[in-house]
Structure 1
Amino acid sequence: MQELEGIYTIWLREMKRFLRYRSRIVTSVVTPLLWLIIFGTGLGAAVRFGGVSGGYRAFIYPGIIGQTILFTSIFSGVSVIIDRQYGFLKEILVAPISRQAIVIGKALGISTASMIQAAILLLLSFIVGVTMSPVCFAVSMVIAIIISMGLGGLGLVIAAFTDSMEGFNLIMSFIVLPIFLLSGALFPITGLPAWLQGAVYINPLTYAVDALRFTILRESVLPLGLNLAVITFFAAVSVSAAAFLFSRKEQNLM
């Protein structure tokens, strides 16, 4: 019971931090919409994409949702660095809860923030001419929470290795963009060169985007069951790794 209360308290703190900065919520929604409207319309007109009903904008729509989850989840790991710099992390560590509960609470807070943004984008599906049914919305949200937990865990892993905002941002610049570009968010993953296809298939976001694309557009490369299995495994591994590394790193600082 004490562990659950600790997880809830940390989750609640992360949510209050997220909701306090309303400009962050607006930016996280406006930016993906700009990608859909400007990039989707411009490139869609240039390439005459006809792979799915609705054209290129509909095709990249699930990928842009994945992009939003990716950026929010991983960059939220910076909260650990802020808490460490201001000494709040030490106060959490002396609480009578396990390190694993701390990481789970933070990961749940990160994934909830990602889900809020994903839900907003799903409700705006009419912009790209996609009909969003209640079942489609519910399944998409399940996919969103699983991959956001995994990516949030990855962000916490990176935060465990860095002690400054500058170091965190530097690592992010080398990780986030390749993950997004190699996820199939902006182009089909079939027919790629072997070396590029290998990089695409080791990317966990690829399976999340493919699962979202199947759920929303009924178009996918891989079976939905395989996609869900991969992102669930990734989430379990990344959160477990974050808990282990976080525990060792912070124990050395105490």
Structure 2
Amino acid sequence: MPALRAIYTIWLRDLIRFAREKSRIISMLGQPLLYLLIVGNGMSATFQLSAARVEGFNYLLFMYPGIIGMSVLFTSIFSAISIVWDREFGFLKEVLVAPVPRWSVAVGKALGGSTIAMLQGSILLLLAPFLGLKMSFAQLFALLAVLFLIAFSLTSLGITIASRMETMEGFQMMMNFLVMPLFFLSGAMFPLKGLPDWMDKVMHLDPLTYGVDALRHIMYGQMPALKTLTRFSLPHDLLVVAAMATVLISLGTISFSRQNHN
């Protein structure tokens, strides 16, 4: 019970902080919208893909799940920055000396960041009708579940890194080095076919690769021109993301449990 209460408290604290930071909500939505409206339209007009010869192909629709994945990626990774923030302002010290297992704090942070990232991604789902995309309630429910799974995996990665960082500047530099490669190597901007061997191997290590692929399966199940550009099967995507989430949250809890409260 103390562990469950700690998980719930940390989760609720993160949600309350998020709800109070209106500027954070707007800024986290701004960059994905910028990519979708400007980069997406620009590339669809000027960049010719071999897949464009497929009847019914639409680059903006192809990019849409990747942009949602981008929103989840940014929100998930940077939600872990609160660990560094709490360390600098002393709140983390109070948490670490509390009579609760430290792993419960890490799990609470992961669930809080995952919930926030899922909500951010779900806001972008409101753009679907404007792109001419119709989805059933079953599809929307499946998308939310996949978004949460992706977010949990990425938030756990952020916690693993943040728990080892002493300063905000160090964490931000690490994230800037990590986030964009995770995004561009996920297949969000281009199909995962016909790539160099080294890039193909790196893509297999990116959890967002499987997450974006799963989103495309769910969104475009009835659109053959777009579904043919998926790389893996939906069960394979979900299994890999779940496995990565399990490994990363395990690493995150171990790393967090080694924190020094002095």
Structure 1 and Structure 2 fold alike (TM over 0.5): yes
C-alpha contact 1:52 1:59 (8 A) present in aligned 2: no
1:29-68 CA-partner distances (Å, limit 9, x unpaired): 2321221111111110112453584611100100001111
Structure 1 partner of 2:7: 7
Structure 1 partner of 2:83: 80
**Residues in 1 aligned to 2:169 and 2:218: alpha-carbon distance in whole angstroms:** 38
Structure 1 partner of 2:251: 241
Distance of aligned partners of 1:52 and 1:114 in 2 relative to their CA distance in 1, 3 Å threshold: farther
The amino acid that maps onto 1:227 is D
Structure 2 partner of 1:64: 67
Structure 1 partner of 2:163: 160
Identity of aligned residues (%): 44
Shift of 1:6: 1.1
**Residues in 2 aligned to 1:196 and 1:52: alpha-carbon distance in whole angstroms:** 28
> Which of structure 1's runs of 4+ aligned residues deviate more than 2 A?
47-54
The amino acid that maps onto 2:158 is G
Structure 1 partner of 2:213: 210
Structure 1 partner of 2:100: 97
**Residues in 2 aligned to 1:139 and 1:53: alpha-carbon distance in whole angstroms:** 24
**Residues in 1 aligned to 2:154 and 2:119: alpha-carbon distance in whole angstroms:** 15
The amino acid that maps onto 1:149 is F
Gaps of 5+ in 2: 222-226
Shift of 1:109: 0.5
Shift of 1:253: 3.8
The amino acid that maps onto 2:219 is I
**Residues in 2 aligned to 1:54 and 1:27: alpha-carbon distance in whole angstroms:** 31
1:68-121 CA-partner distances (Å, limit 9, x unpaired): 111110111110011011110111112221111100111011001001111111
Task: Give the 5 Å matches for 1:113-124.
Answer: 113-124=116-127
**Residues in 1 aligned to 2:241 and 2:169: alpha-carbon distance in whole angstroms:** 29
2:235 is equivalent to residue 225 of structure 1:
yes
**Residues in 1 aligned to 2:84 and 2:55: alpha-carbon distance in whole angstroms:** 43
**Residues in 1 aligned to 2:36 and 2:60: alpha-carbon distance in whole angstroms:** 6
C-alpha contact 1:99 1:243 (8 A) present in aligned 2: yes
**Residues in 2 aligned to 1:30 and 1:214: alpha-carbon distance in whole angstroms:** 26
Structure 1 partner of 2:58: 55
2:130 is equivalent to residue 127 of structure 1:
yes
1:133-173 CA-partner distances (Å, limit 9, x unpaired): 21111111111111111100110111111100110011111
Distance of aligned partners of 1:171 and 1:52 in 2 relative to their CA distance in 1, 3 Å threshold: farther
1:197-226 CA-partner distances (Å, limit 9, x unpaired): 111112111000000011111212201000
2:35 is equivalent to residue 35 of structure 1:
yes
Shift of 1:179: 0.6
The amino acid that maps onto 1:192 is L
- The 3-state SS of whatever aligns with 2:163 is helix
**Residues in 1 aligned to 2:55 and 2:102: alpha-carbon distance in whole angstroms:** 46
Distance of aligned partners of 1:32 and 1:127 in 2 relative to their CA distance in 1, 3 Å threshold: farther
Please tell me the root mean square deviation across aligned C-alpha atoms, in Å.
1.3
C-alpha contact 1:52 1:58 (8 A) present in aligned 2: no
Structure 1 partner of 2:200: 197
Pairs aligned (count):
252
C-alpha contact 1:107 1:153 (8 A) present in aligned 2: yes
TM-score normalised per structure 1: 0.95
